[in-house]
Amino acid sequence: MKVFKFGGASLRDAEAVRNVREILNRFPGERICVVISAMGKTTNALEQVADAWINQDVGVFSLLSGLENFHLEISSELGGAGSLAVKSIIRDIRLLLQSAPPSLYDAAYDQIVSNGELLSTAIVSEFLSREGVPNQLLDARKLIITSEAFRNARISWDETTRRILAAFDEANPEYEAPLYITQGFIGCSSSGHPVTLGREGSDFSAAIFAYALDAGEMIIWKDVPGVLNADPRYFDDTVLLDRISYRDAIELAYFGASVIHPKTIQPLQNKNIPLYVKSFEKPEEKGTLIHSFEDQPLNTPCYIVKKDQVLVSVSPNDFSFIAEDGLHTIFGLLSHMGIRINLMQNSAISFSICIDDHPDKLNRLFKALSGDFRVKYNRGLELITIRYYNKKITDKIVNKRPVLLEQKSRLTVQLVVESQKSK
């Protein structure tokens, strides 16, 4: 069994959907589970619908009509594939929008935003069937079972594995064309509420299927030739990494290399499943292979720039040691507010953290800290992470900017600097 994942860029229009069929044609007779994201920028558009619903904005219905038209146009260019399903999904959303949203923002968000993948899979599955590529459409909400942490649901691994295996067994193994289509990004809580797994989570969904099915390999099809040593949107002189260890891949993804969702690697590593990242435009090329190459360090420096960072320094008002009681309070608040630390450092009486700039979360944090601590902060920063660093590349990327915080380990250097205008 192979698991494929197609993202938004590989499904942005009818031409792209035809290309998915071309790619599948390259694997005749193989059992493949195809995990699909929402088309193009649908998830962003659904986020706007969710916001408008929660704020009871009357514009919500026209936003939804825009999405309906976008999908129906693609469907019509594909001979009407999936059009009935699209209309029915949109009708259900419209009905939902006529009711009051649940009081919990994140629950309302997941009810709406989870529909993008239902729309895309309906079109792709029917298109493939009509093109003579029989396939079975499986509903990921019946297979991926999670906690009720809306927008960032945690997987119930045993139950999910059991359900996936049962669904794939039931779907006749002798099935004429052993192709299964399912949704990325979405699942269902054990009490039956739709959930999402976090933005860009379809790579992770594919890894969950690969894990449960003991897949022989997983391929994610991207708009880049594979994993490069830096994001080609911001750097010209990137190089393709042809093989990477799981360890390097997880570190790069965790620090913000957005080509792979950071949660994707662990399930694959646990079962030693190879992960290929390949170009959907040039599927014949080798791309990048991520596998257990732990004894083969890269010889190319890899760099990641995380923008919109804030450096927050916290000191106890009473000049006490921060490590004794302060850290406990600060970590408690950060965890409660769902704020992830990208970098941290402490001295005797101060603790500094570099975090993403979410103004409302920051204001709540500052307020909560203000009784016991003095808080200073700097905005408009970037966090640069360089793995396999050397002085030349570090100097080049820092580009003479003052460094506000620096941390080095044997393989990785991280630096917080002021932002510079990107190209």
Q: Please report, as ranges, the residues that interact with ligand ASP according to CB under 6 A.
A: 7-8, 37-38, 43, 116, 184-185, 199-202
Those residues with Cβ within 8 angstroms of residue 52's Cβ, 6 or more apart along the chain or in another chain: 59, 60, 63
Q: What is the separation of C-alpha 218 from the centre of its chain, rounded to a whole number of angstroms? A: 16
Say if CB 322 and CB 351 are below 8 A apart.
yes
User: Is residue 110 near Mg ion by the rule CB under 5 A?
Assistant: no
Contact region for ligand ADP (CB under 6 A) — 19-27, 188-196, 216-224, 317-325? 216-224
Least CB distance to ligand ASP at residue 201 (A)? 5
Q: Which of 217, 231, 281, 357 binds ligand ADP (CB under 6 A)?
A: 231
Q: Which of 200, 248, 251, 382 binds ligand ADP (CB under 6 A)?
A: 200
Contact region for Mg ion (CB under 5 A) — 6-14, 28-36, 271-279, 292-300? 6-14
Nearer to ligand ASP, 116 or 194 (CB): 116
Least CB distance to ligand ADP at residue 411 (A)? 16
* Distance of alpha carbon 390 from alpha carbon 367, whole angstroms: 40
User: Is residue 9 near ligand ADP by the rule CB under 6 A?
Assistant: yes
At which residue do the structure tokens 């939902």 appear? Answer: 96
Question: What are 381's strand-pairing partners?
Answer: 309, 418
Query: 257 in helix, strand or coil?
Result: coil
Those residues with Cβ within 8 angstroms of residue 46's Cβ, 6 or more apart along the chain or in another chain: 38, 67, 112, 113, 115, 116
418 binds, among ligand ADP, ligand ASP, Mg ion, none (CB under 5 to 8 A by kind): none
Nearer to ligand ADP, 114 or 313 (CB): 114
Least CB distance to ligand ASP at residue 205 (A)? 8
x/- letters, 25..64, toward ligand ADP (CB under 6 A): ------------x---------------------------
Residue 273: phi and psi, rounded to 5, are -90, 125
* Distance of alpha carbon 35 from alpha carbon 31, whole angstroms: 13
Question: What are 211's strand-pairing partners?
Answer: none
Residues in region 185-224 near Mg ion by CB under 5 A: 200
Residues in region 232-251 near ligand ADP by CB under 6 A: 232-233
Query: 193 in helix, strand or coil?
Result: coil
Q: What is the DSSP string of 213-247?
A: HT-SEEEEEESSSS-BSS-TTT-SS--B-SEEEHH
* Distance of alpha carbon 32 from alpha carbon 24, whole angstroms: 9
Nearer to Mg ion, 258 or 412 (CB): 258
Binding site for ligand ADP (CB under 6 A): 7-10, 37, 200, 222-224, 227-228, 230-233, 257-259
